[in-house]
Amino acid sequence: MAYLICEKCNHYWQIKSEEEFWVFHMCDECGSPLLYVKNFNEYRKITKNFPESSRKTHTQRKADNYWRLWMGGRLILIAGALMIPAGILLTVTGLAWGITAVILGIILMILSVPLTRTSERRGMGWRKGYVGELIVTNCLRRLPEGYHILNDIQLPGAYGNMDHVVVGPTGVYVIETKSYSGNYIVKGDRWFLNDELRKEEVQSPSIQAKRNAAALKEFLGSRDIHVSWVNAVVAFLSASCTIMEEDEHCRILKPCQVPEHIMESRLMLGESKVKRIVNALRKHTSEVW
């Protein structure tokens, strides 16, 4: 058994499995993100109650932008739908440019369809990604004092962002969050979708996580901060994932398994080096816990 806690309403819910958290991750009453804990004693020990700094992440901005495009498409559709009867009425009353209004209304309605469909489809994808990152962050908050969570890191000159970086006594961890639907089989670096309708190899989150880990190690080295290893982790939000061949350089875990994996590793970094790493990354991240 585990618990989901709304820190704003002071309400809690008991759940049977982590998968329930992936669905029920927001409070129905206030809309705040819920915190996952294994027991109330663990909740009393949590020190990460508020982020040190926070702004919208790349994923959240993308989701918001597509939502605005969808709203714009709906407004264009409504404008076109209103112009058609107005143009017909003007034509009936003898005004010649009423036909122009009808034609323009039809054009607007036609243009609005691909805009709303595309923005809705892509916006839902980015929204799903943002929710996944939010779930992982709330799982990582269970890490004890001395660990730092940095979300949405964009290193200078790098292509793409890093979803999460954790820095603490047991080392540096790059965490790639994936909210995939369907059944997946993992063989080392190769990921395969294994559904009834689709069976194909997909882009590998493991490779992406390891590439980000290598980029972060190189970045820290350029700042004269040398670490022997940066750990790669994929936080995978899917109830069905079969790992046929484990990748020794990239762990694939459920979100709430990640804190245990980090804390169970051997001690590697002193407090001063942890602070140097966090300070080097602070200006390149959207949120710090």
From first to last of its 289 residues, what are the pLDDT tens digits of the chain? 788 888 787 778 888 877 788 777 788 778 788 888 887 787 777 777 778 777 888 888 889 999 999 999 999 999 999 999 988 888 888 777 788 889 999 999 999 999 999 999 999 888 888 888 988 998 899 898 899 999 999 998 877 889 999 999 999 999 999 887 778 888 888 888 887 777 788 888 899 999 999 999 999 999 999 999 999 999 988 766 777 777 778 998 988 899 999 999 888 899 999 999 999 999 999 999 9
The helix or strand, by DSSP H or E, that contains position 86, with its residue range, turns out to be helix 58-92
Cα→Cα distances 167→75, 103, 138, 251, Å = 46, 60, 16, 17
- Both tokens of 34, joined, read 């819920």
**pLDDT for res 70:** 93
**pLDDT for res 112:** 92
**pLDDT for res 242:** 73
**pLDDT for res 239:** 65
Backbone dihedral region for residue 235 (phi beyond 0: left; psi -120 to 50: alpha; all else: beta): beta
**pLDDT for res 208:** 92
Q: Give the Cα separation of 208 and 201 in Å (integer).
A: 15
Write the DSSP symbol of residue 75.
Answer: H
The one-letter amino acid at 266: R
**pLDDT for res 37:** 83
- Both tokens of 254, joined, read 């459920």
**pLDDT for res 288:** 92
| Percentages of the chain per state (helix, strand, coil), in multiples of 5 | 45, 25, 30
User: Among 60, 38, 59, 37, which Cα is nearest to 49's?
Assistant: 37
